Amino acid sequence: MTASPDPAQTVQELVASFATWLEVHAAQLEPFREHSTADLEEIVAGERPLRRLLFDGGWTRLGWPEACGGIGGSPVQRAAVLEALAAAGYVIPDVLGSIEIIAPMLIRFAPRLAVIHIPSALAGDEQWCQGFSEPDAGSDLGSLRTRAVAAGDQFRLTGQKMWSSMGHVAQHCCVLARTGDPDSGYRGLTMLWVDMASAGVTVRPTRCESGRAEVAEIFFDDVIVPADGLIGEVGGGWRAVMYLMQFERGAYAWQRQADLHTDLDRLLGRVGGVRDADRVIGDAYLALFALRSKCSETISALAAGRDLGPEISVDKLLLGAAEQTVTDAARTLLWPALELDDDAGALGWRQRWAFARITTIYGGAAEVQRDLVAERLLGLPRSR
């Protein structure tokens, strides 16, 4: 059996080929069996050899266009391979989540940027982030105030973003800015691709409850963005961000459920004599089963080219529930180790538990998502 991907293979055949490849490269993959508890800068640097290995093997190139460094095939194939990576006990590099979210938007709305940047990101040479939320515009992006003013063949960008995941380790940021009138709402937004090394860009890491900086504030002080950094059309930023959100709540959620399944399986080996353990474990597996089932449908729909509507909010709600249920299970089953021990295992679970608290906030707060499900899917009356 071949140990390299062939887009003509079925998903089952690809996963079998990948298993063979994992065996061949077991020695190189061994350092990537555990979540690192280091700072994000060290994690990104430490995972770069794994990203390169998967890229050179062709596995993370599945489902991407050849013009963008891919080898063709379907995103479903790539999703199955990444799940198999986690099931084999290896870490899925966090940065791959950013690629799954942002790259499809570049392919759709800025193909010239996609051809340049996707190959570098897949190979491990670039990191990206999103510049959406602001101090007075979190879930309500229609209120954002970061301003981009057209000036000849460029834009001048001024404003502030916050809660930008991996913002302090990223080389590029897709920034949602206002190009319309101050009261133009969603209609006056434009998406720009910003080089983080540009003059006028200041990044301040934000230390989170997990004990490390997971996100960052980004300040733009009259930053020059060339016209070829435009993603989509001027005033078309809302369309671009809504397209991106489908992948943030679908493809990224698929990666997270794969990683969480492996985490939970490992957790079972450390359980002993905990009261009510069966119920706690059952709740966690049910949360993951629901997330995997919904994300599987979403991945297939996105691969088929469907633009999803408000139903994608269900994926986001299930992801937050699964993240918190699994990490809450760890806290119960490892009691009191998660709170009191200082070994790497306890520290890792403590970090994941703390990070999971924000999973019902980032990418759209759970309360907002429930409103969308109630009003747009269930047809319930607005309460305000």
CA distance 128 to 47: 15
Place of tokens 């490390």: 212
Place of tokens 């403590």: 350
CA distance 274 to 337: 12
CA distance 132 to 217: 11
Q: Distances from the Cα of 45 to the Cαs of 36, 102, 348, 360, in angstroms? A: 11, 20, 18, 28
Contact 338, 331 (CB under 8 A): yes
CA distance 243 to 246: 6
Residue 248 is a catalytic residue: yes
Supply 48's token pair: 């770069």
Nearest to 151 by CA among 216, 79, 227, 99: 227
Nearest to 80 by CA among 24, 28, 121, 19: 19
Supply 259's token pair: 């990683």
Sequence letter at residue 295: C
Containing H/E element for 128? strand 128-131
Q: Which of the following is catalytic: 83, 100, 214, 248?
A: 248
CA 61 to chain CA centroid, nearest Å = 17
319-348 b/e (C-beta count within 10 Å ≥ 16 → b) = bbbbbbbbbbbbbbbbeebbeeeeeebbbb
Q: What does DSSP assign to residue 376?
A: I
Cβ-proximal residues to 88 (8 Å cutoff; 6+ apart), any chain = 19, 22
Calculate the CA dihedral of residues 28, 32, 33, 38 and round it to 10 degrees: 150
Catalytic machinery residues? 248
